[in-house]
Amino acid sequence: MNLTLALLLALQQHQGHAAHAQPEPVEEEAVDHSEMDHGEDHQQMDHGQMNHDQMIHGDPEEVDHSTMDHGDHQEMDHSQMDHSAHQQHDIPIAPPPHGAGSGPARAADEIWGAEAMAKSRADLKEQHGGQEILWFQADRAEIRIANEGEAYLWDVQGYYGGDIDKFWVESEGEGEFGGELEDASIEGLWAHAIGPFWDLQTGIRQDLTGERRTYATIGVQGLAPYLFEIDAAAYLSNEGDLTAEIEAEVDQLITNRLILQPRAEIVLAAQDVPELGIAAGLAKAEIGVRLRYEIAREFAPYVGIEQEWAFLGDTQSRTNFVAGVKFWF
């Protein structure tokens, strides 16, 4: 009995699996897409339920670009295109606002008063270069030691004035200790600025020794490129003698306070002046160097050496060892 029931149960399970057998393949009929309505709004489709893992997007490398037409774009005629839309229009200039320029010429005058502001503007101008200055400098105040003996020399100058116009007083001289004053002169010059770094000078020079001649003078003083200080002047004496002097010097900083100063000076003459020891042409020349140390900016002792020549008749030369001080206030 039990064996019979087991056989019936096995037969029933076998028939159930047979019902799941795959159907015979049916030939797919051609689908006519022209009959389909593609106007339906695809935004209403729920893409969240789609399984994108099973979508096949193809390998980009399988695309055959050789069949595409990449013709030369230079054959496009851009001249036929309308570029007028890209042109910028001129910005209109608006008229000034109502009442512009109708206020006072100096608005501060209406608040503080014209008199107070006039004084303030005058002070501002003075503080920015319009002030008058009194200045004095001893460029060389030194002792000179040579084979011929010991001598002294001074070269001082000062002025009073502003940036544009000044009145200069200059004096230079030398002599031997225990002897007579050999050479000395004083000049009064009016200077007018002809450039940012140059003044035109004109005035009178008076000799204080020898023939005591008086000269009319004109020259320039200023700062040349590379910071060379230049002083050049021509002199016409009351005797008709025409001479010229040119000086040049430059400061070379070794440190902020230790300064080496080369210096050169020449005297030129249009004629011989035997009584003054001057020969026509190059009459005298000096060249030297001084090393100074600025204890303060206004006070600097120095030492140096200088060679000088005189060319009247036989050339005479002398070597001077110098020590002195440069100061200003």
pLDDT in tens, 213-224: 999 999 999 999
Taking residues 65-75, what's their average pLDDT?
53
Under 8 Å between Cβ of 314 and 286: no
Radius of gyration of the chain (CA): 52
Report, as an integer, the average pLDDT of 161-166: 92
Asked if residue 26 has pLDDT above 50, the reply is no
Mean pLDDT of 274-290: 92
Given a cut of 50, is residue 52 above it in pLDDT? no
CB neighbours of residue 193 within 10 Å: 16
Distance in angstroms (rounded) separating the CA atoms of residues 41 and 144: 112
Q: Report d(CA 288, CA 283) in Å as an integer.
A: 17
Lowest mean pLDDT among 142-156, 189-203, 302-316: 302-316
The whole-number pLDDT of residue 72 equals 52
Task: Give me the pLDDT at residue 28, please.
Answer: 47
Predicted pLDDT at 127: 80
194-212: average pLDDT: 96
pLDDT at residue 167, as a whole number: 98
Instruction: Write out the two tokens for 146.
Output: 């040579």
Give residue 77's pLDDT: 60
pLDDT bin (cut points 50, 70, 90) of residue 104 is confident
Q: Is the pTM of this model over 0.85?
A: no
Distance CA 199, CA 193 (A): 4
Predicted confidence band of residue 92 (pLDDT cuts 50, 70, 90) = confident
User: Which of 226, 222, 232 lies closest to 251, judged by CA?
Assistant: 226
What's the mean pLDDT when you consider all of the chain? 82
Contact 186/171 with Cβ under 8 angstroms?
yes
| 130: confidence class by pLDDT, cuts 50, 70, 90 | confident
Give pLDDT, residue 100: 78
pLDDT of residue 1: 46
Other CB atoms within 10 A of residue 217 CB: 20
pLDDT of res. 296 = 96
The whole-number average pLDDT for the span 8-25 is 49
Q: Exposed e or buried b for every residue in 45-72, given b needs 16+ CB within 10 A?
A: eeeeeeeeeeeeeeeeeeeeeeeeeeee
CATH topology of domain 133-328: Porin (2.40.160)
Residue 279, pLDDT score: 87
Q: How confident is the model at residue 70 (pLDDT cuts 50, 70, 90)?
A: low
pLDDT band at 212 (very low <50, low <70, confident <90, very high): very high
Residue 277 has pLDDT above 80, yes or no: yes
